[in-house]
Amino acid sequence: MEVSEEKKGDVLIVGVSGKLEVTNSRAFEERILAVIDAGERQLVVDLSRLDYVSSAGLRVFVTAAKLLNSANGKIVFCSLKEPVREVFDIAGFFSIFSVYDSQDEAVKSL
Amino acid sequence: MSAEMTVFFNNQLSEIERLGQIVNEFAERHQWSPQALFEVNVALEELLTNVISYAYEDTQDHEITLHLAFADGEMTAELEDDGQPFNPLEKAEPDLSTPLEERPIGGLGIFLARKFMTDLTYQRHDGKNLLKLKKTITNEE
């Protein structure tokens, strides 16, 4: 699992790649919480290079979204690969999160 | 080429990484589709994580056994631990109709495992917890 950050205007794009599982989800959560703590309020989570996610990763997304919601911020997702899309679907995430096909669309939505 | 294997895990979350490698090798050997591999991986990660996190009240080392088999397009997996009686399948299904504010942070792991398996059952026998997983798997095109 690797995490990247890129700033586009007021939006922070967080890319997470590889496998997001129970053994590394805490490290990912710490990264996300750190950027929110540092004042980022508009997050695009780019999943174009994420091949694997389990419930441990889903917890981080829900935690970050709740935190940003209560701080008048927003988190959106983009570029889901098929396995990740399937997990989002089963978890009912399409009804609570905005998910875009491309990073551009995601950035423009904020 | 054996279509069966037995692996032992310690009750440490770091074992999940090794679980992933083992399942990957097994899937490769039997030419599972990437989709099937992914679904088995997630289901086993969720169930093993649950055992490691909740089955033991002490801080001792425990051995958890995974038996994996594949024949005639069906995978069977048995996960056995000597922890306290614990049936993860008794957990209520998550309510997916609630808005974000009311969603619990967790509670999706067992739900994913159930969805990804054709059959998932729990038994308590001889002082052990036994989870049996079955999944119909189509080979890679």
Write down the domain spans for chain A. Answer: 2-109
Task: Answer yes or no: are the C-beta atoms of A50 and A84 closer than 8 Å.
Answer: yes
Helix B34-54 to helix A82-90 angle (10° resolution) is 50
Interface test with B, best of A54, A58, A61 (most B CBs within 10 A): A54
The per-residue pLDDT of chain A, averaged, comes to 97
- Minimum CA–CA partner of B115 in chain A: A90
The answer on pLDDT for A49 being more than 80 is yes
End-to-end CA distance of chain B: 20
Q: Which has the closest alpha carbon to A79: A48, A43, A110, A44?
A: A48
Question: From the list A63, A69, A96, which residue is nearest B105 (CB)?
Answer: A63
Instruction: Burial-class residue A20 by CB neighbours within 10 Å (0-12, 13-18, 19+).
Output: buried
Confidence (pTM): 0.95
The answer on pLDDT for B1 being more than 80 is no
Chain B hits for A55, Cβ within 8 Å: 46, 106, 108-109, 111-112
Residues counted in chain B: 141
pLDDT band for B59, please (50, 70, 90 cuts): confident
Put simply, the answer to whether B100 touches A63 (Cβ < 8 Å) is no
- What would the pLDDT profile of A72-84 be if each residue is shown by its tens digit? 999 999 999 999 9
Shortest distance between the Cα of B69 and any Cα of chain A, in A, equals 23
Q: What is the CATH number of domain B3-136?
A: 3.30.565.10
Distances (CA, A) of B121 to B81, B113, B114: 14, 11, 10
- What whole-number distance in Å separates Cα of residue A44 and Cα of residue A109? 10
Domain boundaries of chain B, sorted by first residue: 3-136
In words, the CATH class of domain A2-109 is alpha beta
Question: From the list A52, A65, A82, which residue is nearest B100 (CB)?
Answer: A65
Put simply, the answer to whether A22 touches B45 (Cβ < 8 Å) is yes
- What would the pLDDT profile of B83-96 be if each residue is shown by its tens digit? 999 999 998 899 99
Q: What is the largest CA-CA distance in chain B?
A: 51
Is B34 part of the contact surface with chain A (CB cutoff 8 Å)? Answer: yes
